[in-house]
């Protein structure tokens, strides 16, 4: 019995070590790396295509790390990254790091029906599509509900004025990611 | 007779084998069921803070680093930016500090992993290495065997067709009601 246990433990360790080594040996491919701004500017032409984006992690979903938000030069340019099966989850430790993420760009058409459902649901997934519930935007709790209402009204107006009948919201289904640099302070003279 | 004997032996040993994984999945299952009621992975520590900021914005990162790190000995500063709402947001290791740039008053949020539960949740969600998916499938198959074999181990008044069937039906009623009427 004891021998069986030792053999089982040794096999599990070997499999774990082998898997870790394989993961670290994955060859790097040459990719066109875009900023969050570039992705969003060209998003309509890149839907369903594999893209690579780099940006700062402004928020990682605290309920399992299934998604994170990358911002560009400011938090006005932001894209949601879904970890999916390939990545599994993002670590909270990446908040504030610059990540390079490769994945497939997807479109969520925000229609009037979508917004109507949003009003009547507490589904975090649906709210996340619009960046609510921890998008990295900093809003005092007291103002959060009012701001959400304001954003929803603005969204409804945008939908009414749109030719397609929807407002496009883009996100990336993540396939892999790397930390492109350790968090470091900006060069002297560059202010925030 | 011989079959029942082997069933009992296999049920016993397979049952011992999956004790650990069953506990992991049961405990983490409860935490993950309530992931929106409480943060199942982290303790979120929120603290009001006040610092003396230099005039700004804009702020220099080299000035902000020592100011933010002076809030607490354990803080490791990463970077900062001004949010579109006009707050200064500083990323720190495992958290963030959000400050009013005029008053220096704000809030610090630090996340601390729930010891052991965090790791168990990661296994449950297969947020660990992808190979865990196949390993957990194997454990699930063993659990299924333990469950099915358990039905046939006893005979007589406590066997399946006397006492067991009623408990099995009792355990099925609740999920069936939910599947039919509450979905």
Point out the residues of chain A with pLDDT beneath 50. 23-25, 27, 132-138, 183-187
Nearest to A95 among B64, B96, B129 (CB): B96
A45 to chain B, minimum CA–CA distance in Å?
27
Confirm whether A21 is domain-assigned: no
B43/A contact by beta carbon, under 8 A:
no
Directed axis angle between helix B19-33 and helix B117-124, to 10°? Answer: 90
Nearest CA in chain B to A93: B94
Asked if residue A22 belongs to a domain, the reply is no
- Percent of chain A clearing pLDDT 90 (strictly above): 32
Please indicate, yes or no, if residue A171 is contained in any of the structural domains: yes
**Can you give the CATH number for the domain in which A116 is found?**
2.40.50.140
Contacts of A95 in chain B (CB under 8 A): 91, 94-96
- The structural domain count of chain A equals 1
Tens of pLDDT, residue by residue over B130-180, are 789 999 999 999 999 999 999 999 989 999 999 999 999 999 999 999 999
pLDDT of residue A132: 43
B41/A62 Cβ within 8 A:
yes
A2 is a domain residue: no
Q: Give the least confident one: A107-116, B20-29, B65-74, B147-156.
A: A107-116
Asked if the C-beta of B21 comes within 8 angstroms of chain A's C-beta atoms, the answer is no
C-alpha atoms less than 13 angstroms from C-alpha of A18 in its C-beta half-sphere:
7
Coil, strand or helix: which one is A53? strand
The set of residues, in sequence order, having a beta carbon less than 8 Å from that of A52 and lying 6+ positions away, is: A31, A32, A33, A34, A100, A101, A102
Residue B170's SS3 state is helix
Q: What is the pLDDT of residues A44-89, one digit of tens each?
A: 999 999 999 999 999 988 777 889 999 998 888 999 999 988 888 8
* Residue A118 belongs to a domain: yes
Please check whether residue A25 lies inside any domain of the structure.
Answer: no
Residues of A in contact with B45 (CB under 8 A): none
What ipTM is given for this predicted complex?
0.72
Residue ranges making up the domain that contains A106:
31-181
B87, closest residue in chain A (CA to CA): A138
pLDDT of residue A63: 76
Q: What is the pLDDT of residues A151-160, one digit of tens each?
A: 788 888 888 8
Q: Which of A58, A65, A74 sits opposite B127 (nearest CB)?
A: A65
């Amino acid at each position: 019995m004891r021998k069986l246990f030792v053999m089982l433990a040794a096999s599990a360790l070997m499999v774990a070590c082998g898997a870790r080594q394989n993961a670290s040996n994955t060859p790097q491919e040459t990719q066109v790396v875009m900023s969050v701004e570039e992705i969003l500017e060209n998003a309509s032409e890149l839907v369903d295509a594999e893209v690579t984006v780099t940006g700062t992690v402004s928020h990682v979903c605290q309920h399992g790390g299934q998604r994170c938000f990358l911002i560009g030069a400011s938090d006005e340019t932001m894209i949601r990254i879904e970890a999916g099966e390939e990545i599994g989850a993002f670590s909270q430790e990446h908040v504030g790091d610059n990540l390079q993420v490769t994945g497939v760009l997807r479109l969520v058409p925000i229609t009037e029906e979508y917004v109507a459902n949003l009003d009547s649901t507490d589904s975090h997934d649906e709210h996340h599509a619009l960046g609510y519930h921890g998008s990295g935007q900093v809003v005092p709790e007291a103002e959060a509900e009012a701001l959400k209402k304001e954003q929803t009204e603005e969204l409804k107006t945008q939908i009414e004025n749109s030719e397609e009948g929807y407002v496009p919201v883009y996100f990336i289904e993540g396939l892999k990611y790397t930390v492109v640099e350790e968090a470091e302070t900006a060069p002297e003279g560059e202010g925030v | 007779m011989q079959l029942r004997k082997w069933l009992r032996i296999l049920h016993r040993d397979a049952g011992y084998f999956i004790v650990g994984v069953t506990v992991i999945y049961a405990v983490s299952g409860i935490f993950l069921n309530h992931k929106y009621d409480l943060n199942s992975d982290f303790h979120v520590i929120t603290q009001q803070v006040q610092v003396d900021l230099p005039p700004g914005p804009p702020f220099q990162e080299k000035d902000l680093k020592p100011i933010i790190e002076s809030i607490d000995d354990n803080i490791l500063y990463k970077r900062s930016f001004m949010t579109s709402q006009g707050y200064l947001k500083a990323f720190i290791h495992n958290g963030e500090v959000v400050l009013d740039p005029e008053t220096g008053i704000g809030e610090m949020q630090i996340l601390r992993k729930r010891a052991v539960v965090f790791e168990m949740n990661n296994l449950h969600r297969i947020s660990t290495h992808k190979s865990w998916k196949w390993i957990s499938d194997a454990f699930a198959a063993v659990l299924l065997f333990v469950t099915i074999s358990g039905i046939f181990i006893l005979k007589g008044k406590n066997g399946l067709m006397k006492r067991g069937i009623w408990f099995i039906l009792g355990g099925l009623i609740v999920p069936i009601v939910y599947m039919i009427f509450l979905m």
